[in-house]
Amino acid sequence: MLDDRLEGAPRKKALVEVRGLKMYFPIHTGLLRRKTGDIKAVDDVTFDIVEGETLGLVGESGCGKSTCGRAVLRLYEVTDGSVRVDGHEIAHLGPNTLRRMRPTMQMVFQDPQASLNPRMTLASIIGEPLREHTRLTKPEQLERVYELMDQVGLNRDFANRYPHEFSGGQRQRIGIARALALNPKFIVCDEPIAALDVSIQAQVVNLLEELQDRLGLTYLFISHDLSMVRHIADRVAVMYLGKIVELASRDDLYGDPKHPYTRALLSAVPEPDPREESRIQRIVLQGDVPSPANPPTGCNFCTRCPDVMDICRKVDPEYREIAPGHFTACHLYCETTTMPAEPTAAKEAFEPIQQGE
């Protein structure tokens, strides 16, 4: 049952509920362009986001993070699964009903330059959602635009300037102001700092945190920067090849990662203290990420996992709770064996199963 795979969020109202989400892109080949397969960008993903919290979604490039965020907002037509936002099922809504849901959920895009119309002024860009979804008069729209500019730290004198006249950090603030225009409850932040200078990244993240505290926003924060996710997220989900392999509270995941892929990711995070850096044992994964068009049999991570077992190549591990609020999909923690303290202990526990096969 999908409902049995809840992610251990606090027992508060879940603003976003995702169950078994799948986002497949068809592959067409040949002269007649017949469908010969699917790219499984998002494959059976389940999670909740509680009101007022930030869920971080991390993973390497190409794992399906951004596709998952866009599918949750129905910017793509979902292949299968359920997505509920503020109690409303949106996965298969018609266009007119979905349009009425848009003010509740918004998105901040990765590239602030590409997501802004170069032919529109700042005031026109921020005011576009107001023109489309509200009946405010032009003076009321302009006043709301000024209010949003104040919230994100933009000078009102910039209202008639164009996107090319702003820096990367200022352009991202414009994107944030546009997302806030309709007073949304839920915002997907799709790597909002990836295209910014390091000196500007902290300013944008601090702005997002300040707005969340002031307006009670709920975030899905997508990023590959594990250090920044640790700073902003309440809980963290780790994604690999279209699937969530581990989900836990921030402190549990960074302090005691369970899945081998999560351990490898965290071992790659640079440590500012040279003494600590010298003691870190890097986990270097061998091989390349398999194609989402042809994922391996069994566990998606079995081709690169340092703790791989025979069962991993045959059976897809169940995504289950192994500790209060801590979920993972790994045979090291399946029900047929006790939860090991170290991966080597788990290997020994599985030896009788391998021999029995």
User: Tens digits of per-residue pLDDT, 82-133?
Assistant: 999 999 999 999 999 999 999 999 999 988 888 999 999 999 999 999 999 9
Chain CA centroid to CA 81, Å = 17
Amino acid found at 213: D
What pLDDT score does 113 carry? 86
Mean pLDDT of 236-252: 95
What pLDDT score does 335 carry? 60
What pLDDT score does 347 carry? 40
Around 123, how many Cα atoms within 13 Å sit in the side-chain half-sphere? 15
| C-alpha to C-alpha distance for 119 and 122, rounded to whole angstroms | 10
Mean pLDDT of 317-332: 92
Where do the domains of the chain lie? 2-356
pLDDT digits (tens, 9 = 90+) for 216-241: 999 999 998 888 999 999 999 999 99
CATH class of 2-356: alpha beta
Mean pLDDT of 24-37: 90
Neighbours of 171 (CB within 10 A): 23
Query: Which stretches of the chain are assigned E, i.e. beta strand?
Result: 14-29, 34-50, 54-58, 80-85, 88-89, 105-108, 186-190, 218-222, 235-240, 243-249, 319-323, 326-329
What pLDDT score does 68 carry? 96
Determine contact, residues 152/176, Cβ cutoff 8 Å: yes
Cα–Cα distances (Å) from 64 to 89, 213, 264, 306, 353, in that order, read 22, 29, 18, 23, 33
Mean pLDDT of 139-158: 95
Mean pLDDT of 283-301: 89
| C-alpha to C-alpha distance for 254 and 276, rounded to whole angstroms | 16
User: Rounded to 5, what percent of the chain is helix, strand, coil?
Assistant: 40, 25, 40
Asked if the model's pLDDT at residue 206 lies above 60, the reply is: yes
| C-alpha to C-alpha distance for 240 and 143, rounded to whole angstroms | 45
Asked if the model's pLDDT at residue 210 lies above 80, the reply is: yes
Q: Is 329 helix (H, G, I), strand (E, B) or coil?
A: strand
Q: Could you tell me the end-to-end alpha-carbon distance of the chain, in angstroms, rounded to an integer?
A: 28
User: Taking every pair of C-alpha atoms in the chain, what is the biggest distance, in angstroms?
Assistant: 76
Phi first, then psi: give them for residue 246, nearest 5 degrees: -160, 140
